[in-house]
Chain A
Amino acid sequence: MMEAAAQEKIISVINEKFEGEILEAGMIKDFFNINLKSEKIVDIIRHLYNHPDTKFQFLTTLCGIHYPDQKQIAVMYQLHNMVTNQRLRLKIFLPEENPSVKTLTTVFAGANWMERETYDFFGVNFEGHPNLKRILNVEDMIIFPLRKEYPLEDQTREDKNDLMFGR
């Protein structure tokens, strides 16, 4: 649980250099969450990394979320300051068509495969990524499977030959 003073400190650190980038900030359950505009996200994370008051120097995880109703794909970054044991979640929202954001590999080397995974499943283009190609799925796949428009196979379908696979 993060105290109100710590939350305000993070917000003021961001506003110090990046005024007007915060869309929304608040606690969700026990986690401090900030929604940001997508253009300067990497600069903001670098600022939070270097600033002596925040020092979020560990990237816990990074993933995509698809919101088909808003026609948006969100990218969630989860940062951790291991010294003060504070955790922070940053979210940006990208358009569903050609989502694109700068790569975080310039700040965290570990973001490399996490971004590849997000590209693989959501088709988010991370500009400047050293090796942005599919990681878990086959390379000639043409869809981005975790998007909501690709449902799992209907288990009641009957048009399949079930001699081989027993369904």
Chain B
Amino acid sequence: MSEVDQIVPTEVQEEKQYSYLNLGPTHPATHGIFQNVLKMDGEVIVDSTPTIGYIHRAFEKLAERRPYNQITPITDRLNYCSSPINNMGWHMTVEKLLGVEIPKRVQYLRVIIMELARISDHIVCNAVIGVDTGALTGFVYLFQQRELIYEIYEEICGARLTTNIGRIGGFERDFSPKAWEKINKFLTDFPVVLKEFESLLNRNRIFMDRTIGAGGITPEMALQYSFTGVNLRAAGVDYDVRVASPYSSYEDFNFIIPVGKNGDVYDRFMVRQEEMWQSVSIIKQAIKNLPEGPFHAEVPEFYLPPKQEVYNNMEALIYHFKIVMGETEIPKGEVYHCVEGGNGELGFYLISDGGRTPYRLHFRRPCFIFYQAYPEMIKGSMLSDAILTMSSMNVIAGELDA
């Protein structure tokens, strides 16, 4: 038999041609540095491969060389839309390790700050969902209010975005009358604007058609993928760290945990919207019941003394030197502390071997954990829904990449 006879003609197959689209790393619609290689059949997404790590800054390694009070600025840069929550979470973790009793007033002040941060985080996310569906007006309205929150931060700690607010043991100073004035102004102005924003979007036919059923997830899947925060609650699981394991006197407050049903973009939007109302109510309760007392715990070995005393008082000078040089006595131990961050359970797993720096510090970053479900969530949906799904999940690049 000749060679020619052996050749079997290959069957002609109608092979489907997919196109590949690089969404990112820097795409104006993704609000951060995310790369997704999308396998597309027309405008429908067949598969996607996310690449992360573009702004990885090795926080866990850096933390192994820094004294405890110098780690607070690192936490700022995790979820930079709500830095104060991260700062407070870190302070509370160290206080748990040290076994420091925190005065009631500090806890209430912390609640006020954390709830303001939650509102500002939700403002960013919900306003941007509006932008991605083509409604820019609400974004402008709400971002003015976010500016007011930043002014409150500025009044309390001097910084706006990466706040480094508070200290281990309390606050660096009490809230000034000007700060209270600004908080009260915010509490009277904000509900009006939020109401206006809701009237623009909540029952808007175009917005509802666009968001209902897009990027949904079942509660079973959400739990499988270790979702927390708004994304989990929108799927119908009522887990909130503030209620499940209360910290900083959250047990004293009366508030509702809103839950969704379908876990889609609309539910996530609505859950955030309701949480903002609840946060306003929590802040009002905190101001109403604010106890009198000191603004920091009496722990001179960990809390920086006032500068005036450093110049005039021997002990204060010694403590100041020790704290600044990171030579404080830290007990050995292992703690996990979690707070309800802007987008989920933000956990700090800290191992101390008694040295000046942590032996190991692991951040449980909610974004990093739930973003892995993103390919699953956008499979079979349109490209424009994929953009919307990402912005509604509140994925923050800084937290994702640590």
Where the two chains meet, the residues of A that have a C-beta atom closer than 8 Å to any C-beta of B are 28-31, 33, 57-61, 63, 65-66, 76, 78, 82, 85, 87, 89, 108-110, 112-114, 117, 121, 135-138, 145-146, 152
Contact = CB atoms under 8 A, between A and B. Distances in A.
A109 B402 CA distance: 21
A109 B237 CA distance: 18
A114 B224 CA distance: 13
A112 B372 contact: yes
B41 interface: no
Contacts of A145: 58, 61
B224 A108 contact: yes
B335 A109 contact: no
Contacts, number: 86
Contact of B61 (A30, A87, A117, A152): A152
Contacts of B371: 113
B369 interface: yes
Interface stretch (B193-201, B345-353, B387-395): B345-353
Nearest to B345: A60
Interface stretch (B153-161, B173-181, B294-302, B360-368): B360-368
B192 interface: no
Contacts of A117: 368
Interface in B366-380: 368-373
Contacts of A78: 336, 349, 364
B368 A31 contact: no
B354 interface: no
A108 B370 CA distance: 12
Interface string B252-285: 0000000000000000000000000000000000
A81 to B, nearest CB: 11
Contacts of B349: 61, 63, 76, 78
9 contacts: A57-B223, A61-B349, A78-B349, A82-B244, A109-B221, A110-B226, A113-B369, A121-B60, A145-B58
Interface of B: 52-53, 56, 58, 60-62, 64-65, 96-97, 221, 223-227, 237, 239, 244-245, 333-336, 338, 345, 347, 349, 351, 359-360, 362, 364, 368-373, 401-402
B336 A31 contact: yes
A113 B245 contact: no
Contacts of A121: 60
B61 A85 contact: no
Contacts of B333: 28-29
Contacts of B338: 60
Main secondary structure of the interface of B (DSSP, over half): mixed
Given A29-B335, A113-B372, A146-B61, A58 B351 contact: no
A76 B110 CA distance: 30
Main secondary structure of the interface of A (DSSP, over half): mixed
Candidate in A33, A108, A135 with the most chain B CB atoms within 10 angstroms = A135
B39 to A, nearest CB: 16
Candidate in B65, B347, B362, B402 with the most chain A CB atoms within 10 angstroms = B362
A108 B336 contact: no
A110 B371 CA distance: 10
A135 B226 contact: no
A136 B369 contact: no
A82 B226 contact: no
Candidate in A108, A136, A146 with the most chain B CB atoms within 10 angstroms = A136
Given A29-B96, A82-B244, A110-B369, A137 B53 contact: yes
Contact of A135 (B53, B221, B345, B359): B53
A152 B65 contact: yes
Given A61-B364, A85-B244, A110-B227, 5 more contacts: A60-B345, A61-B349, A82-B244, A110-B370, A136-B56
B37 to A, nearest CB: 14
B52 A110 contact: no
A87 B349 CA distance: 13
Contacts of B224: 108-110
A85 B245 contact: yes
Nearest to B97: A29
B400 to A, nearest CB: 9
B351 A152 contact: no
A31 B225 contact: no
A161 B66 CA distance: 25
Contacts of A33: 334
Nearest to B364: A61
B65 A60 contact: no
